[in-house]
Structures are given as structure tokens and as C-alpha cells.
Chain A
Amino acid sequence: MAKASSKQALRTKFLAGLAVLGLGQAVLQTSVLQPFWSKNYSPAKAGKTGSLVDRSLSPDQMLFALAGFRELIAGILWVRADSFFDSGNYDAILPIIRLVTFLDPKQVDVFSTGIWHIAYNFTDEEQRSDRRYIPPAIALAKQGCEGNPETYEVFFETGWLWYHKIDDEYDQAVKYMEEAYKRPDIQPARKNLRSVVLQRAGRVEDGMENYYTLLEDAQKVFDKNPDVFQSRQNRDAIVGNLDTMIVRMVQRGFMAGKEGRPLNAYDVFPPFDTGFSVKVSVLQPRVVRFEGTWNVLPVGSRIRCVIKDADWDVFSKYPAQMNWEFSDDVNLEPPRDKTFMQEQLFVRNRRFDKTVDMSRDPTMYPFRSKRYLVEFYYNPRSAPPHIQDKFSWNGEGLADKNFTNTEIRPGTRVFYTYLELDKDQLLRKGEWQEKTPVTKTKNYVEVERTYIKGDQILQIPSLRSGG
């Protein structure tokens, strides 16, 4: 009897223990372990759409990967991507990049290469990038930065993407370069780029300050190791950069402008009328010719030209570009029904004449919308230094009589205008089958192609030669 009641008591204790333990493990699991695991160890740490469930891992791959071999699978997949790079099968690399970054979000190499690959390697027959891939590249870059805050690499690559590929909105480039700069593992030579990016963002003095800081550091390294070639080279490179920058600041009248003094004595005065004019003709379906004038010295003069959908806010509300961050989804299928063509118009003899043939890439240029914007844009901040010596960083020396614009890029005088074409015109349909659609700026004058009788030629000053 006593034995039975002791057993019953033990049983009761066990049941009570079970209840307490069950509750304890549930609380520990949901409030402590699950959030921490999700933050630090989860394979799918990839934003709102970073999901292994709704992406392309097959069930067997997923089980195998999640059962302890996910980094192994990621590594092997990434090596597999090599062979696709070699064979030029770029499409096949995209899902691999995505899978590898899902399985092992710490493979920095994959993020760096993936960002570059997505943003740069998809081109049309004339080697123009498919810029519809840039938003997913940026989304991937953001995920890479978020998941790998310990290293400078993904931040640097993201900054480079804004600086070099998008080549606009330099504040974004600065933001990521600043983050890269904070990381101790950044290579010394790469720190120089921060100054360049700061200048492009209009923060000229910050750029100079950065050079001084770098010089101080480089001098310390040099003093410690005066016989090491690399430390001497690094210091000398910074001295050269700083020297050139100070001369440029003086010649462009940067300090005078800042202090509100007249710029008459400087190279940016008088502001130069670039005399832009353009005529756009649709020669054949998806084949467009741009002719026009631009009175700037040929070498390094490139006008950005964009053809894009007029009725999609992601494109139309962003002059001469798109909303590059319109989605945080690394969607490797770009919006197939949208068209975004960006080209550079090279100037020769103060004139440009370029035919853009989009007919061989109908998937890249589907032209499904009704209306299209044809934009023309020049930002002095993107200009090469010798052109910038006339226009300066903020366009102080730029004054296109018709198209100067201070609104679309606040703080900078840029040149911007646009024309409109419709779908039928671009595809030569309907009434345009026999008639060549032509649209032009009001100031466009038909001229001989060989030479323009202009009365103004941009005189490019040379450094230290008195102009």
C-alpha cells in the first residue's frame, strides 16, 4: 500500500516536472534561442524575400544542405559557377549566386563577385549594360553588407557600384565608402577613393581632409619603414593627389566661391554655354539615331542619353536614371516588360551623331509601354578632371542657354532635357511604317556634318600653366 502511494507520489512529481520543463523549454526556445539563431546562424538571413522555401533549392538539396553540409554545398556550387563564367553562360550563374548567399551568407567573395556580375555582365549586342539588373545588384549588396559587417569588402563593392556603374547620386557612394573606411581590414590604397567619391558628392573639403589624414598615416608608416618601397610609394601617391587637388581647387575658384567672392579671375568664369541641341530619328524599328551639337572639347565629353518608359514611376520620377532602390528583393528576373536604355553620346568636332540599334535585343528593349522619355543629361560631377576644370564640381562654369537645370540634382548645375516618343514611333508601326519619326529640341539647326561654324570653343585650362 505504502509502496503504491510512493509510486503515485513519484508519478505526480514527474508530471509536475514535465509541465514545468515543457513551459521552460518553450519560453527559452521562442524568446531567446530562436531570435538569436535567426540573427546569427540562419542560412536564409536574406531580407524579406530571402527564403529557401520559395527559391530554387530542390527538397533533397535543401534537406542535405540543412542537415549539416550547407557550407560544403555552397562552396561546391560556387566552384561550379567558375565553369559558367568560363563558358560565358552568365544566366546560369545567377541562381548559383543566390543559392550560395542563402546557404552561406558569410561568403564575402560571392557577394562581391555577385554584385559585380549582376550589375555589369548583362549587356546587349552593342555592349550596353542591362541596367534593369542594377536594383537587384544593389539589393544583394545591401544584404551582403547587413550580413557581413565585420569586413570592408561588401561595403566597398557597393560604394563602387554607385560610384562607377550608376555614376550618379554620389551621396550613396559616399555612404558605403564611409562604412568601408571604418573597417580596419580595408587596404590602404583603397582609402584614396574616399576622397574622389567625396569630391563627386560635392564635399570637396572633406575630400581634401581625407587626403591629409591619409598622408599623416602614410608618413607614419613611411617613417617606420623608410626602406620599404610600398610605404614610400603610398605616401608619394597621396602627396601627388593632394597637390593636384589643391591646385584644382585654386584654379576653379573653389574657396572664392565659398566665400562669396567674384569668380572673374578663375577658370570657371565666364560660365560656358554648351549649346546643346539634338534631333532624334527612328530609322527602323528599335533603331534610333541621335544627332546634335555640344560645344565642349571632344576628349572625355559624353552626354548621357536614356530611353525609358514614361508611365512607370520607378523610371519616370527619376530624371536621367531610375529609382535604383525600388525593391529590396534580389529578383534576378528584371522587369521584362519595361525598357531602360542608357547610352553615352561621344562628341566629335562639337557634334555627336550616334545610331543606337536595339533591334537585336528585343527582350532587353521590349517597348511595351505607350509613351517613352528620351532624356539627355550631363552632370559636371561625373566629368573627367580636365573638363571639370572648366565646369568645376558643382557646375559653376556650366550654363547651357536652354537646358541648365538646378532642380533635378540639388546643389549642382546640370544640363537636362527630354523629348518624347511613343511606342508606335519606336517600333515603326501604324502611321510610322513609312514615315520616319523625328523629334528635336527647338534650337536644333540642320548643319553640315563635317564641321560646325560655331563662335565659341571651350578653352580647357591646363594646370599651373596660367590657363
Chain B
Amino acid sequence: MFRPIFAIANATVGEAIRRKVLLIILFIATLFLIIAPNLGMLSARSETVVLKSMMLGIIQIASAVIAIVLTVYMLPNEVERRTIYTILSKPVMRWQFLAGKYLGAVLALGLMMSLMAVVMSAMFLVIKQNPSEAIKLLQAVAMYFVQMSLLASVAMCISTFVAPLVNFFLSGGLFLVGTVLNPVFDTMQKSGSGASWGKGLAQLLSVILPNFATYNIQNPLINPQQQIQSEASYYINAFGYGVMYIAIMLITGMLIFEKKEV
């Protein structure tokens, strides 16, 4: 059952790392990571805080763009180039095809994020010479990886029923909303002001939409004096949430793709 999935995933990784547009995004992100330490003049006193924030921010944004660009074209390209017929004529079920494509996309994403993480750690070590903090930053990158895998699943699901360009904006918009939703919902709850229906709506949305902010855990890593109780269990729960939501997206995509005329 899994052999076709792995075979498709393997082929997808090969395709992905040959795509120029992804390589360009990766190159630009890496370039920014290399020049980031030289932007210390923006922040005389908070140099380390700004450096860490900037490096993590670059990785997050670049990874989000890669995740979306990588996945929005995946299925439409197969259909457009008619290569999907060759694959589906073999004993491969549609859901396996979709799962293989997703797995390949996540693996390619992982490769690219690993490269950026290596560059970030190297630059941080060169500039700050603090291995323990450099390693801590990798925790954030690991959480971003789950976040981007979730984003890729959303884009993949949407790609089963809309055109790539629309999908690009739709997935990007959902990422933005999902990132902002948690702080906005949180602040609405704390402010004590605002209509109760507004709070209810925010609560409903935060349950329905993918909550990407769950993975924005960089603040205590950037300000290392902070100590958080039971952080490891939060990471495990966040990972579990990611896996569940990814499964929801993929199953939904599979159900739609199953019915789709290709």
C-alpha cells in the first residue's frame, strides 16, 4: 500500500529541487541570512534579539513561500502535462497519488529548511560564538517545519479544486489569518471589551481554521532568560495538532480528488 506513495514522493522531491523558482527563493533567503548580522546597526542595544528575530523571520517567510509555491502547482501541473494519466493507469489509487505528492513536497521542504537552518546556525555561531543559543534557535525552525507542513497540506487540499493562482492567494491568506488569529483572539479575550458575538466568532474561527500561530514559539528562544514550564509537552501537543490537521486536509483533498474529472 505504501510502496507507490514512497515512489511518488521520491519522484516529487527530485522534481522540486530542480524547480528554478524554488531555488531562487532559497537563494534569496540564504543571502538574507548571510547579510542579516550586518544589519546590527539597526539595533544598537538589542543586537542579539534583532539578529535572532530577523534570522527566524527570514526562514519562516521564505519557508511559507516555498511551501505554497511548491504545492499549488503540484496537481495542476500533473494534469496539464497529462503525466497524471500515466501514473493513474498503473495500480495506484488516487489517494495514494495525493499522499505521495504531499510526502514528496514535505521532504523537499524539509531539505530546503534544513539548508537555511544550517546557514543560520553557522552565521550565528560565527557572529555570536554561542553554540547553545544556536541550537536553541533550531527548536523554532523545527516548529516552523510542522507549521509549513500544515500550510503545504492546506495548499494541497485547495489545489484539488481551484486554479494555482487563486490557490496561491487563498493559501497565503489562510496562513496570514491563521497566524494573526491566535494573537487577535487572545487579545480580544484579555481586553474585556468588544461584543460577545465577536468573541464567539473568533473562537469559532480559531477552532475551524488552521492555527498557524501555535508554532510561533520564538519569543522565549529570542529572550533566553524566560523559563517555561512543560514546554516539551506543548511541543508534543502542537505536533499532534499539526498531524491531525494535516490528516484532515489530506483526507478532504483525497475525497475531492476522488470525485474530480481529470
Contact = CB atoms under 8 A, between A and B. Distances in A.
Interface in A61-75: 62-63, 66-72, 74-75
Contacts of B53: 69-72, 74-75
**Residue from the set A30, A41, A78 with the largest chain B CB neighbour count within 10 Å:** A41
B78 interface: no
Given A66-B183, A75-B50, A108 B225 contact: yes
A63 B252 CA distance: 29
Contact of A69 (B54, B180, B206, B230): B54
Given A11-B255, A34-B206, A51-B191, A25 B248 contact: yes
Contact of A109 (B45, B183, B252, B254): B45
Given A17-B251, A50-B187, A29 B211 contact: yes
B216 A75 contact: no
**Residue from the set B43, B206, B230 with the largest chain A CB neighbour count within 10 Å:** B43
A398 to B, nearest CB: 45
A55 to B, nearest CB: 9
B46 A78 contact: yes
A116 B225 CA distance: 22
Interface in B10-32: none
A76 interface: yes
B61 A32 contact: no
**Residue from the set A26, A36, A46, A107 with the largest chain B CB neighbour count within 10 Å:** A36
Contacts of A22: 248
A466 interface: no
Contact of B211 (A7, A33, A66, A151): A33
**Residue from the set B184, B192, B226 with the largest chain A CB neighbour count within 10 Å:** B226
B245 interface: yes
**Residue from the set B56, B179, B207 with the largest chain A CB neighbour count within 10 Å:** B207
B108 to A, nearest CB: 21
Nearest to A185: B225
Contacts of B255: 11, 14-15, 18
A71 B52 contact: yes
A151 B192 CA distance: 29
A37 B214 contact: yes
Size bracket of the B interface: 35 or more
A134 B189 CA distance: 27
B220 A41 contact: yes
Contact of B225 (A49, A68, A148): A148
A313 interface: no
Contacts of B214: 29, 33, 37
B183 A52 contact: yes
Contacts of B161: none
A52 B181 CA distance: 12
A28 B192 CA distance: 24
A76 B190 contact: no
Interface string B193-215: 10000000001001100010110
Nearest to A110: B46
Given A41-B219, A42-B186, A54-B191, A68 B57 contact: yes
A33 B187 CA distance: 16
Which 4 pairs show the lowest CB-CB distances between chains A and B?
A106-B223, A71-B53, A75-B46, A75-B50
20 contacts: A17-B247, A17-B251, A18-B248, A29-B207, A29-B211, A41-B216, A53-B184, A62-B180, A66-B216, A67-B61, A68-B179, A71-B52, A72-B53, A75-B42, A75-B50, A82-B44, A106-B220, A106-B226, A148-B225, A150-B226
